Structure formats: structure tokens, C-alpha cells
Structure 1
Amino acid sequence: MTYEQIYLFTLLGFVFAFLVWGRIRYDLVALVALVVAVAGGVIEPEHAFVGFGHEAVIIIALVLIVSRAMMNAGAVELVARFVLSAGRRLSAHIGIMSVVGAGLSAVINNVAALVMLMTLDIEAAEKAKRPVSQSLMPLSFATILGGMITLIGTPPNIVIAQFRERALGEPFSMFDFSPVGIVCALVGIAFVTTVGWRLIPQVEHRASVGGGGDTGLFVAEAAVKEKSGSIGKLVSDLYPLGEEHDITILGLVRGGKRLPGFSAGEEIRKGDHLVLEGDPKSIEAFIGAAELDAPGSEKNEGLRGRSLTLVEAIVPDNARMVGRTAIGLRLLYRRGVTLLGVSRQGKRFRERVRKLPIKPGDVVLLLGPESRVNDAAEWLGVLPLAEKSHTVIQRGKAFFTIGVFAVAVFLSVMGFVPLAIALAGAVAVYALFNVVGPREVYESVEWPVIVLLACLIPLGLALEESGGTALIAEAIVAQTTALPVWAILAILMVVTMTLSDFLNNVATTLIAAPIGMSIAGALDVSPDPFLMGVAVAASCAFLTPVGHKNNTIIMGPGGYRFGDYWRMGLPLEIIIIVVSVPSILFFWPL
């Protein structure tokens, strides 16, 4: 072996060891490895940061922003209302949620798809009085499977597509992954729906949807906007919707005055305000479902058409708010923020929320654009609670957001513009129409993954150019000379899948892709089946909670232990190998 090969193999060995160890952030490990490679002379200094301009890195960042836009616009609620039912049998619930999760993962990042559906799944489990552990892991696995269906569903597909363009002159297109991905997703979903969930230990664990301690229920108001579907209904007609969202309707405000009692028999009119009691996320969801609006939206256009945030904040003794009301402070006029609700040690009150004198120890619920809410909290002297902010869904923009994304995909698929340009255009439109705010554009991007990918790309290129990947390929071929090509493909997929169970799937793909290409060259067959095999195997990390971010996300809410994943994950990985190898060879002949 040459000096460059020995140096790179040793360096990558340390990289893998540190990534498996997991005590040091993976982006820092990759960055240090890049610097060490430059210092050792195996990467030229002028080529050290080419990864940051690589198209795969750009596309992954843009996909994450598009996913955030879909979440902000409430695209998931368009289907959630039809799929959630606490009375449905568990297997039917898992099947429906898995299909929806896989479908969403095909068009947005699979991590974002899980985040959107996880809360709904937890709520369904609580209403059905069953352990959420039975359904949360199948949902996670389904979103991982769904990500394999399209180019943008999962980072390994993007990396493989860009690697093919560099090696063969043309990338995989948006739907080249679909035939094999759909077969794997359908078979995998059938398994987790019928058999897989029965293999999971039943963990009696109460998942936390809100992410933090309970600050009590808030009393809030919601305005009946023009053309609201609630107009003409009795207040009592909204009780079932309130129960569905864990909301209590306390009464009705008309003409600035609270009507007596609970006003159950009163007909709702335009301009009325409903008095609600519940936690912030439930209040926000009910306002959207009942087609209501935040108080003050009709007077302040800044609360319309903007990316809004709900923030919970404690009122200390010396706060400017103490003893004063939101109206008295002219909070909406001065700061562009409205006081949506107040929590006072579980006590109810008859005063209107904006006319209620605030006391020390109250927890207030502020609504407005994130920057304004933060400024208002500082001006008021209140203390925002950590992890107690909630993005307000802009439901009126759901179809617009989906339409913009569909146009971007269409332009890319038809070859009018590259995918990166199409997605960048969609992001620009979302930012222009405030589907995502300026700060959210940057917050949506998972920068550690971007740094990891950008730093490992030069290392992968150096290993390939030094002949290291060809050396590995020759060793694999030499050890499998008596085996048919399909068996060699299966072995490559098993090795890749095993690595992906313990390493980041992007890192696994960057190393396995050139090895697959070299094996195909040594066997004198088409490289496409081997690249597809790497893409499938790198995505299917089901044995551990560290192999895929989705598995890590559900570990806490589901109450899972490290050893719980392999029970359903091992048979699923075996099934994927058995199904995907013939599928790949059928759709991508040798």
C-alpha cells in the first residue's frame, strides 16, 4: 500500500472509532479529521473545503428548510384529521400512521415527517389508554422506509445521486429510487403493522408532548373571524371538538363583556370571543380546528401572514406587567405582541384576558413573531421558560406551501432547472411570504450534519483518488470469487447496513458508495445496482437508537431501552435485504 492509502485508512479507522464511541460531537470529529488529512499531505489545502460547496450539501440544507415550511403551514393536519381515531384497533392505527408517515417522508425530510406525526401518535395513545411504545417505533421505522422512495426523502439518496453524477456524468433523478423504495416500504410497513409491533416490549411510560414540566392550564381567548366555520353554531356544538383537543370552553365574550355562565346555548357570531382553558399546544390546535383567530389579529396585520410563536413566561415581582393589564400596557400597539392566555395556579377568572391585572407568579402566554415576542418579554420584565415556545401553524398557507413545492419538483423532474435551484426558489418564495421567517431559515438547517458531510466529502474523494476504495473492492471480490453477483451485492448491503446501525448514514454512504462502484468495475457489470444497494442499506438502520436520528428522537417519548430496537429491527433488516436485492436487480439490471 502507498503512504496515502495507509494514512487515510488509519485516519478513517480513528474517525469510525470516535463516531461509534459517541462522546465527541460527530461534526467536530469530521472537522478534526479533515485538518489532520491536510496536515498529512493527503488532501491539498485548496481542496480542503470543496465539500461546503458540494451540491449534495446544498440540497440537504434546502430540504430541511422546505420541511420546516411544511410544518409551519400545517400540511400534516390536512391528513391527520382523517387518520386519527382513538377507537381504532392498534394494528389498523399503526398501518394508517405508517402509510401516512412513509408518504410524507417521500416528499419531505423523514426526520421532519416523524416530528410532525409523533405528537399525534402520542395523543392517540393517551386517548386510547395504551402504551405509546407499541406504535411509536413502527412509526419511526415507517418514516425511515418512506425516505427511500425519492431523491429528497433521505440524505443517503442525495449523496448517492451526486456521487453518480461525478462518476458517470449523470445523477439519479428524483424518482429513480421509487421502484425499489416503494417495494421495500410496502413490505416493511406490512411487517411492522402485522407482526413487528408485537415484538416490542410494552413500556408503561407516559410520553411528554410538550417537552418540559407542567406550568398549569391557561385561560385564553380566541376571536371568531369572518367566514369562520363556527359562526351560526351553538357554543355547545364545539364541545366535542374541545374534548378532541383537550380544551374546556369556559364561556363567550360579546361586545366586550363576558356573558353569564358557560353560554352553552348561545349562538356564535362574528366578532365574538370564546374563552378557552387548556395547555398552549391544545389551545393553538383548537383555534385552528375551529377556524378562530388570535385576539388582535383583525387590528394588527403583523399577526397575520407571519411566522408566529407562542412563548410561556413567568412574571416576577419586579416585572413591568405586575398590576397592569395588556390593554393598559398597549402591548399589541407598542410591541406587536398579544397576550393570548394566563395561567394562575389553576385558578379560573371571569375577567377578560387582556383586561386582567397580572400578578407575580402568573405564567403568561405571549403570541407574536419570534423577534417581537423576545423583545416584548424583555420590555415587560417577564422570564421566558426554556423549551416552552411553540410555533403557531399558519393553516391558511397549507395549500400554497404544498403547491410551491410541487412546482419546484415538477421543474426539476422535467429538467428545466437543477434540483438545488428549484428548491432554492421554493425557499425564497416561502421566505418572501413569511411561511418561514428569516431566523427560521437558518434554524431549520441541521448544521452539525452539514459540517459532517462537507468535511467527509474531501476525505472520501482522497480515498478514492489514492486507490483505497479500489483496494477494498478488490479484497471483497477476491474473497467472493465463487459467489454469484447477486450474493456479492447482498454482502455489500449487509456490511453497509451494519455500519449504518452504528455510524451516521451520510458517513456510511460516503465510504460505501465508491467501494460499490469499484466492485462493479472489478466484476465488469453496471454500477447502478451497487449504488442503489448502498442507498437502501445506508438508510435502513433499525438495530440501535443511534443508527438513525428518528430512532434517537423516539427513545425518550417511547421509554425505549437500547436493546429494544433489535427485536423488531433485526427481522426488518433481514426482510429488506431479502426483498431489495431481487428488486434492485429487476429494476436495475446488471
Structure 2
Amino acid sequence: MPVFEVSGATVVFLLIVAVLVAFLTEIVPNDVTAIGVVAALVVLEPWTGVDSRAAISGFANPATVTIIAMYMLSAGIQNTGLVERLGIYLADFTAGKEFRALVATVCTTGPIAGFVNNTPVVAVFIPMVTDLAEKTDMSPSKLLLPLSYAAILGGTLTLIGTSTNIVASDFARLLIDGRDGIGMFEFTGLGAVLLAVGIAYLLTVGWRLTPARVPVDSDPVSEFDLDNYLTFMEVRETSEAVGVSVEAFDEAYPDVRLLQARRDGRAYAGPHSDRLLEAGDTLVVHGSLQAVNRFREAAGLGQRSREAVTEDTFEATATDGTLAKAVVPDHSRYVGETVGETGLHEYHETSVLAVRRGGELLRTDLKDRTLQAGDMLLVRTTPASIRYFTDTGDLLVADERAIDRMASTDIAELAPLSSKTPVAVGILASVVGLAALDVLPIVIAALAGVVAMVVTGCLTTADAYGAVSWNVVFLLAGVIPLGLALESTGGAAAVAQFIVATGEVLPLLGVLFVLYAAVGLLASVITPVATAVLMIPVGVDAAARLGANEFAFLLAVMFASATSFMTPVGYQTNLMVYGPGGYEFSDFLRVGGPLQLLLGVVATVGIAIGWGL
């Protein structure tokens, strides 16, 4: 009786399908899925050919180590205050004009992202761009999407511009004979062309297509539709609140949140105050209509329904609390935790009033809501907590007005430059120079740069470790052996055969464009790094079968993976502006789709001219 044999390539394909489903559905975080891949490859070793040593090789891969070092170097530059200071100067340059604000945003973000990791650049620029929009009397939505796209485009300028470039360099070393990786500025010419074309698009067609989702200078209460969730109440003489501290009274009623207490028209206490309530005090209460009504009856309070709670209600108590909008970044420790589990209220005097997740607005049962990367939170918080969130990066405060209220308007105090600024910039320049001149491999130069920054005091070890997006590192380390298994089992060759088949009806340039388009689509639904790892072996194999330039096909995969514009989940920076811009999923497709198609044409032609087919 014949025995059905399963080939190694089939097993790897099935594993890849399972990984793609997990990435799309996010049943578990992507980095956890990647670590699961490591275990699965070893368990299935008879088919995958991957033993335990090969399975964990991704952690020692030069690309992984280089990316870790570049995160740390970016943090060192971030600590100098240069990016923040630049944002302040941009506001002066725009002079209140909309188009100038757009030009300033895209023309500064792109070049910076070529040398500093684009994720922290966007994190710093989000509140500044929001403030820029307010000063020019325009919707922040008109600037935030171009901000993300410009940062993505800037990543194509240098080898260290984005993680996918570093991954591609390592694959070039492994898969292409005679190649020792990719030079620091080897593709800068084409990257500059793509950046210029992208900026031209964003300043013209993209500007018209980008929607103004968030109203100009909108009140957060109205923006998050909280008019029926924030209420003024009055403490009656017979109320049980009389003589009770604000904090104790707030804790006694967990279904509502006491955000503020007012006396004689002045706010004097937040929810963590030990100040005693008196008859005649006015309370600002947050909760659903049903919960608030139950609270009013149980506590014997009166309701002042004619007066509406607005952002100005909290402006009066800037020393005790304020409203702010904050984004949950993908590296935040709050991702995957419920609002109640984060301890925001207990430890950071921060109350979450609403959560915007794409087009969905969550305002009830918030304690039990699990936070996801890209969530936009409306919070009542304090200046000290804003500083804490800014320092740790666990939340990105996206409301420059909230930051202004905690700091002086003096530029030197609002965006101070570190005394170590020249040293940090010099170290980064040295890393780039040593790698560009082939004095040291990029991985060694980057590690040496990290050591130099720590030794010179530009970076503490705690800041260095905290700057790394470890989820990206574990994702890369887990997916690299999967890419190697795809290559060694013949799976890459099988996929490449489909691409080769298009050569029967298309010229070689057309085949390259088909590859670029396919990779771009895949990068839009899973991470660019994972796409590069899986598709570079396919591209190189297809080129070999066609007798074409293998490096040209590798570059096509690299550029296509690094320029993902069509979905908010395709690139970290897209996810970061998703909430603050109030965008819908379709906005990325409408604005990013034509841009991705345009760059596909420009990139394939540019590769053909620059490196030949």
C-alpha cells in the first residue's frame, strides 16, 4: 500500500500559512507567533531540516544585532533634544500657513528618518505636528498621514534607515555570490528619487486625497462624543459626601470616576486628593448615564444638567489635572493589558475616559477593555504623569497643548539641548562613516557606537535597553529561520517558479514589477520585516532561474517591503498616526494605494537603470 509522503516544502508552506493567519488575526502578539515558529521548526525537523542551533540562529544574526544597536543609537540622538528643537523651529517657519506646515512636515521628517529610526521620529513629531495644525487652523489629519509616509520614505535613503534594509543586506551576503552585504549609501540615489517623488505626490495629489477627519481645534469632549458621559453634580447638605475626602468618595463608587471637585467657581482637587468635600461643592463625574444616575441617587447629589463639561473645565486646574490624548505604541508595556490592569489610575493618577480604535469608539466598561497598539486614549492626567509617559514611551502624548501646560514656553526649557549633543551626533556620524568606508562591518560599527554613547554619558544602559523594540527583535529572530527553511527545502524555488512563469508573457522589467507589487501587497498585511525575510529568497531564486541580476531582484523586494502605505497595520508609523488622525482604514488605501503604485513603477525602472536586469 503506497504511503503518502509529505515534502519538506509542503510542511514549511503550511507553517507559513499558519503564521500569516496568526499575523492577520493577531490571536497572539506577532513576536509570540515568531517564537512559536522557532519551536515548530525544531519539532518538525525531519521535514524542515532545522535543528535547535539553526532555529535560534536568528538571535545571533548580524541583522538582528545591528537593529538592536541602531535602536540604541537612535535613543542617544533622541536624548540630545535636536528633534524636539527642530519641531519648535518648524512652527515659526510655517507662519500660520497650511501649505508651509505640510512642506515643513514632510521635508524634515524624510531626511531625518534616513539616519534615525523612523518610529521614534514620528513619536516625537506627532504632538508637534498636532500643535502645528492648530496654529495653522487646519485639521491635524491633513498632516499626520503625510508625516508617517514621509518617515517611511526616508527609511529608503540609507542602509540604517529601516530594519528591512539591514535584513536585505544580510541576505545579500548569504544568497548572492561575491556580495558582502549592501553598502551604507549604495542605494541612496534611488532612495532620494523615491523620497522626492513621494514628497511631490504628498504635496499635490496626496494633499487633496487626505481627509480632514479631526475637526480643527476640536474639543476632546466632543471629539470623543463624551457629552453624555461627563456630568456636573452638586454636593447637597444632606449628601453623604460632606466631610469625606475626594479620594475616598471616588473609591466608594467604582462604576463612576470623580475627575474634579470645584468650589466657588475654582477647581481645587482631582480624584486622588485628600481634600474634604463640603456642601455646595461641584463635582465633575465620568460614567455612563445609568451609572451616573445610580451614583447621584445613592450619594444624595444634585445634578446640574444645564451646564456642559468641556475641555475648558479642566483647563482651570492645570496643576492638578488636564485632558490629554495619548497613543499606545506597539512597544508599550500596556499592550495586551486591560485598562484596569495597567494601574494608570492607581499609580499615575490617570483616568481613561474613552478609547478610539480605528473607526470604533469605546466609552463603557473601560476597565475591562484590552489595550492594543495604535489605540488613542482620552485621559484625565497630571503634568507629572505626562512627563513619565514621555520619558518611558509607554504612552505617546499626542496633544501638544497638554505638553505646553506642563512646561515653560521658553524654547530652551521646552526643548533643551543636551550638553552631550555634539558627542552623540559625532558618534552616529562615525558609525555611518566607518560602515560606509568599509573600515568596519555595520554590525561592529553600530555596537561600538553604542558602547561609545554609554561611556561618554550620552546614553544610560537603562535607556539603551528601554529604547529597543524587543517585539520587533523577537519577530525578526523568529522569522529568519523560517526564511532559511523556505530556501533550504525548495519552497522558495517553488514560489519563484510562479514568478518565472510571468516571464513567458512579460518582459523582464514587467516580471520585476510583478514581484514588487506582490511583495508590497504582502507587506501591507504583515510586517515589512517578515515580508522581507520570506520574499528575498524567492526573489533571488526567481532571478537565478530567469538568468537575471539577482541583486536587482533583491533590491525590488527590499524597497517594496520598506514602502508599505496601504494599511494602518502594514507599518508601525501608520499605526501610530491612525488614532490621532481619526482615520478610517479606507483612508490609507485611498491615499497610500496610488503612492505605492507610483513608487512601484519608479523603483523598478530605477533599479533597471541603476543595476541592470
Q: Which moved more, 1:161-170 or 1:496-505?
A: 161-170
Asked if the contact 1:315/1:383 (under 8 Å) is kept, the reply is: no
Closer/same/farther in 2, CA of residues 314 and 199 from structure 1, 3 Å limit: same
Give the corresponding residue for 2:158: 150
- One of 9, 23, 26 as aligned partner of 2:30: 26
Q: Does 1:416 align with 2:439?
A: yes
Aligned counterpart in structure 1 of residue 194 of structure 2, from 170, 180, 184: 184
Find the aligned partners of 2:59 and 2:514 in 1 and give their Cα distance. 32
2:41 match? 37
1:554 aligns with 2:562: no
Within-5 A mapping of 1:55-134: 55-85=62-92, 86-134=94-142
Match for residue 461 of structure 1?
484
1-structure distance, mates of 2:199, 2:467: 29
Give the CA deviation at 1:64: 1.0
C-alpha distance in 2 between matches for 1:32 and 1:422: 32
> For residues 266-293 of structure 1, what are the alpha-carbon distances to aligned partners after superposition, in whole Å with 9 as ceiling and x for unaligned?
xxxxxxxxxxxxxxxxxxxxxxxxxxxx
What SS is found at the alignment partner of 1:395?
A: coil
CA, structure 1 residues 362+559, in 2 after alignment: closer, same or farther (shift >3 Å)? closer
Report the more deviating stretch, 484-493 or 119-128: 119-128
Q: Structure 2: which amino acid aligns with 1:28?
A: V
Supply the distance in 2 between the matched residues of 1:393 and 1:9 (Cα, whole angstroms): 52
Contact 1:50–1:458 under 8 Å retained in 2: yes
What is the distance in 2 between the residues matched to 1:348 and 1:62?
Answer: 39
User: Counterpart in 2 of 1:272?
Assistant: none
How far apart are the structure 2 equivalents of 1:586 and 1:486? Answer: 10
Partner of 2:287: none
Q: CA deviation at 1:446?
A: 0.6
User: Counterparts of 1:266-305 in structure 2 under 5 Å?
Assistant: none
Match of 1:162 in 2: 170
Q: CA deviation at 1:78?
A: 4.9
Q: Contact 2:482/2:534 (CA < 8 Å) preserved in 1?
A: no
In 1: Cα distance, 2:9 partner to 2:51 partner: 15
The answer for the alignment partner of 1:524 in structure 2 is: 547
Residues 329-364 of structure 1 deviation map (CA, whole Å, 9 limit, x = unaligned): xxxxxxxxxxxxxxx994799xxxxxxxxxxx799x
Q: Which AA in structure 1 matches 2:209?
A: L
Distance in 1, Cα, partners of 2:601 & 2:83: 33
8 Å contact kept, 1:501–1:548: yes
**C-alpha separation between the residues in 1 aligned to 2:451 and 2:488?**
37
SS of 1:129's equivalent? coil
- Whether the aligned pair in 1 keeps the contact of 2:68 and 2:473 (CA below 8 Å) is yes
CA gap of 1:481–1:201, structure 2 versus 1, over 3 A, is same
Cα-Cα RMSD: 2.5
Aligned residue number for residue 18 of structure 2:
14
CA displacement at 1:104 relative to structure 2: 0.5
1:144-172 superposed Cα distances (whole Å, 9 cap, x missing partner):
00101111111111110000011224100
Please tell me whether the aligned partners of residues 95 and 190 of structure 1 are also in contact (alpha carbons under 8 angstroms). Answer: no
Note the 1:188-587 alignment, pairs <5 A: 188-205=198-215, 317=274, 346=316, 383-385=347-349, 388=386, 389=388, 390-391=390-391, 394-587=417-610
Opposite residue 97 of structure 2, the aligned amino acid is R
State how far apart, in whole Å, the 1-side matches of 2:347 and 2:476 are: 38
CA contact (8 A) 1:316 1:383 kept: no
Distance 1:485 1:88, change over 3 A: farther
Q: Distance in 1 between matches of 2:318 and 2:175?
A: 67
How far, CA to CA, are the matches of 1:150 and 1:530 in structure 2? 18
- Return the alpha-carbon distance in structure 2 between the equivalents of residues 173 and 345 of structure 1: 53
Partner Cα distance (2:607, 2:317) in 1: 62
Q: How high is the TM-score relative to the length of structure 2?
A: 0.67
What residue number does 2:145 align with? Answer: 137
For the residues of structure 1 that align with 2:470 and 2:600, how far apart are their CA atoms? 32
Counterparts of 2:480 and 2:317 in 1: how far apart (Å)? 58
Measured against aligned partners, the alpha-carbon deviations of 1:7-59 in whole angstroms (never above 9, x if no partner) come to 00011011011111123200111111221121111211222101000010011
Counterpart of 2:473 in 1: which secondary structure? helix
Q: Could you say what secondary structure the match of 1:415 adopts? A: coil
- The answer to whether 1:46 aligns with 2:53 is yes
For the Cα contact (< 8 Å) 2:98–2:136, is it kept in 1?
no
* C-alpha distance 407-558 of structure 1, shift in aligned 2 (>3 A): same
1:2 CA displacement: 5.7
Deviation at 1:398, TM superposition (A): 2.2
1:453 is displaced (CA, Å) by 0.4
How much does 1:430 deviate?
Answer: 1.8
Residues 155-192 of structure 1 deviation map (CA, whole Å, 9 limit, x = unaligned): 11111000001122410011112111111110001110
Once the two structures are overlaid, the 10-residue window that deviates more, 150-159 or 384-393, is 384-393
CA contact (8 A) 2:427 2:449 kept: yes
Indicate conservation of the 8 Å contact 1:203/1:559, yes or no: yes
1:412–1:419: 8 Å Cα contact kept in structure 2? yes
Aligned pair in 2 of structure 1 residues 48, 348: CA closer, same or farther (>3 Å)? closer
CA contact (8 A) 1:544 1:565 kept: yes
Q: Distance in 1 between matches of 2:127 and 2:21?
A: 35
Q: Partner residue of 1:174?
A: 184
Letter in 1 for 2:434: L
**Partner Cα distance (1:97, 1:496) in 2:** 28
Amino acid in structure 2 at the alignment position of 1:518: D
- Please tell me whether the aligned partners of residues 207 and 557 of structure 1 are also in contact (alpha carbons under 8 angstroms): no
Aligned-residue offset at 1:460: 0.7
Q: Cα distance 1:477–1:362, how it changes in 2: closer, same or farther (>3 A)?
A: closer
Q: Which amino acid aligns with 1:189?
A: I
Change (3 A) 1:178 1:44: same
**In structure 2, C-alpha distance between the alignment counterparts of 1:555 and 1:39, rounded to whole Å:** 39
- Residues 401 and 542 of structure 1, relative CA distance in 2, 3 Å threshold: same
Q: Which amino acid aligns with 2:480?
A: I
SS at match of 1:557: coil
| Deviation sequence 1:434-468 (CA, Å, 0-9, x none) | 32222111111111111110011111111101111
Shift of 1:400: 2.2
Q: CA deviation at 1:316?
A: 5.5
Measured after TM superposition, the shift of residue 396 of structure 1 is: 2.6
The answer on whether the counterparts of 1:75 and 1:399 sit within 8 Å (CA) in structure 2 is no
Provide the residue aligned with 2:353 in structure 1: none
1:344-387 C-alpha deviation (Å, 9 max, x unpaired): 994799xxxxxxxxxxx799xxxxxxxxxxxxxxxxxx954465
Structure 1 portions without partners, runs of 5+ = 214-312, 319-343, 350-360, 364-381
Structure 1 runs of 4+ aligned residues shifted over 4 Å read 205-209, 313-318, 344-349
Tell me how many residue pairs correspond in the alignment. Answer: 434
Offset at 1:475?
Answer: 2.3
- State TM-score, norm by structure 1: 0.70
Q: What percentage of residue pairs aligned between the two structures are identical?
A: 29
